[in-house]
A and B are shown apart, each in its own frame.
Chain A
């Protein structure tokens, strides 16, 4: 009753009396002008030309610029899944039983040639589009770990240990499958808050594609920035010599490099080069770095919080870390 009155009565005379929209363009122009006029001086006044701050901002900007192309690739795919595929199409391609869907999705992760920034929005849209969560999570973990670009980079970084490439592919895939199966066995629906589906009624397909891309980029990009802030801060604050001298201790060295992978947030396409340069660590410890890095690091956890919610990330990330360390220890003992 009331609602029809409110709606109907508005139709003929109240359109002109809507509150005016917030004037974004003038605000942005004003902001840009103020920033251009005083930004630099204000910044220098506050932090001066402090070398630590400069290094911090270089690393922060570097992580963001490095990730932008992969993030764009990821959100183009995620927007296409959300707006262009018919509803439920991906779920129909996968086997119905999630025990079987997990390995299919895990292996499918190998075709997305990006790093972890690309796989988060794609996995988010998979869940929103009806793919069972365990399968989407297997994809999320395997895509950055076992795609061809990453494996080639690993081969280049370890010219004398080609078995490292095999160990990495096996380890990365194993973590993805174990986590997928674990989630289907133990996961509760309430833990994972899937992204809202793009509103179907709103406009054309092209318009849905655009709004989903825009939203997913700003959302995942924002959380990427959170992770980059944390990584840059640790890069400047933590003494790089903290890990020297523990390379020889078997179990500790594996844990240390696994933790280093979480903290450093190196792109999975570059991590092999970084760890190859660390002297004094066993190949198994280095494998732990390569297996943990693509599946748990600060920026990835921040993006998981954004896409699937905090209740998800606080369970999933630590579990993934433990599984990744165990898997790399086992794979390392067998293959390396």
Chain B
């Protein structure tokens, strides 16, 4: 492999980062606020990659000085000009020491092809029912439960994590008497029925927390497909476990997946 491999890899990585921001795919993996940083970093990698391709094309025929010396010594295998074994070993060692470090892709660097492959060819979807069901139905304890009244006239749209926290950690005090609209995806419930669920991330999908709201009531009887996005209009009902959330549905209707799949703190 020659001096072009490393700059090309750098360029491709940068291009994928920029592509994710331009076409919006990145919100499946990191928080939207990360976009500008990702675009700048990607642009920088593309620029350095292009610069390296340019520099590599200018010097590629020569290769590194050490590689050229080694190649020259190898040409003569016999006759008076032949290099002896010692010389060859020394030149090889010099070439390794000089050229190896910086112009080439360090072996482990090729692992970065894996995220590129995944993102471009089999883009992994945003975290869904599998991830949401793993931590159980208990709502993560909020730093502080929102105690302010819901904003706007009924039916009022509420974020799933906001509803779940008010319901599970504040006894639904601020929810009672309201008709709320929740949007989330379907996570099947082991004991029957289903949850309307949403993941919340602070930085990226590796720090995701799941918020599950059990949906009960007549419109919830026909169980929608796992992972499908639904809009539930309903009223607060106390959950049966400790620190779990539940809603009684007045209406359940399928909706398109939102632009940003995750909720933010």
Chain A residues near B (Cβ < 8 Å): 2-3, 5-7, 9-10, 14-15, 17-19, 21-22, 24-25, 28, 35-36, 39-40, 43-44, 51-52, 54-55, 57-66, 68-69, 71-73, 76, 153, 156-160, 196, 198-199, 202, 207, 210-215, 217-219, 221-223, 225-226, 229, 231-232, 235, 239-241, 244, 264-267, 269-271, 273-274, 276-279, 306
B141 near A: Cβ within 8 Å?
Answer: yes
* In contact, A62 and B87 (Cβ under 8 angstroms): no
**Residues B109 and A40 in contact, CB atoms below 8 Å apart:** no
Interface of A is mostly: helix
Chain B residues near A2 (CB, 8 Å)?
83-84, 86-87
B115 touching A61 by the CB < 8 A rule? yes
| Bound Cα distance A240, B40 (Å) | 35
Seed contacts A69-B41, A218-B109; 9 additional CB < 8 Å A-B pairs? A3-B91, A40-B122, A62-B29, A66-B30, A66-B203, A196-B101, A215-B102, A225-B108, A277-B142
- B48 engages A210 (CB within 8 Å): yes
Contact of A55 among B121, B131, B207 (CB under 8 A): B131
Q: Is the CB of A267 within 8 A of B204?
A: yes
Q: Name the B residues within 8 Å of A3 (CB-CB).
A: 83, 87, 90-91
The reply to whether the CB of B151 lies closer than 8 angstroms to some CB of chain A is no
Complex-state Cα separation, A223 to B91, whole angstroms = 30
Chain A hits for B107, CB < 8 A: 222
Would you list which residues of chain B between 143 and 164 have a CB under 8 Å from chain A? 143-144
- Structural contact, A14 and B75, CB atoms closer than 8 A: yes
How many whole Å from A295's CB to the nearest CB in chain B?
18
Q: How far is the CA of A65 from the CA of B39 in the complex (A)?
A: 11
Cα(A2)–Cα(B91), bound, Å = 12
> What A residues does B5 contact at CB under 8 A?
24, 28
Are B72 and A18 touching (Cβ within 8 A)? Answer: yes
User: Is the pair A44, B207 in contact by a Cβ cutoff of 8 Å?
Assistant: no
**In the complex, chain B residues whose CB is within 8 Å of the CB of A202:** 98, 102
Q: How far is the CB of B46 from chain A (nearest CB, A)?
A: 11
CA–CA, A183 and B157, complex, Å: 56
Given the complex, which residues of B lie within 8 Å of A35, measured CB to CB? 117, 121
A226 to B112, CA, bound (A): 9
The answer for the CA separation of A66 and B131 in the assembled complex, in Å, is 19
Contact of A61 with B29 at beta-carbon distance under 8 Å, contacts A6-B76, A218-B109, A279-B140 already known: yes
Q: For the complex formed, measure the closest distance between the CB of A44 and the CB atoms of chain B, giving whole angstroms.
A: 7
Contacts of A232 in B (CB 8 A): 206
Among B63-71, B171-179, B213-221, the stretch in contact with A: B63-71
Residues of B within 8 A of A276 (CB): 141, 143
Evaluate contact between B206 and A7: CB separation under 8 angstroms: no
Find A58's partner among B81, B108, B117, B205 (CB 8 Å cutoff).
B205
Interface size counted on chain B using CB atoms at 8 A? 92
Chain A hits for B222, CB < 8 A: none
Contacts of B265 in A (CB 8 A): 156-157, 273
Task: Give the nearest-CB partner of A225 in chain B.
Answer: B111
Interface membership of B4, Cβ < 8 A: yes
Cβ contacts under 8 Å, B250 to chain A: none
Nearest Cβ distance between residue B123 and chain A, in whole angstroms?
Answer: 8
Asked, given contacts A158-B143, A226-B111, A267-B204, whether A210 binds B124 with beta carbons under 8 Å apart, the answer is no
Given known contacts A2-B83, A210-B52, A222-B112, is B117 in contact with A241 (CB within 8 Å)?
no
B202 → A minimal CB distance (Å): 4
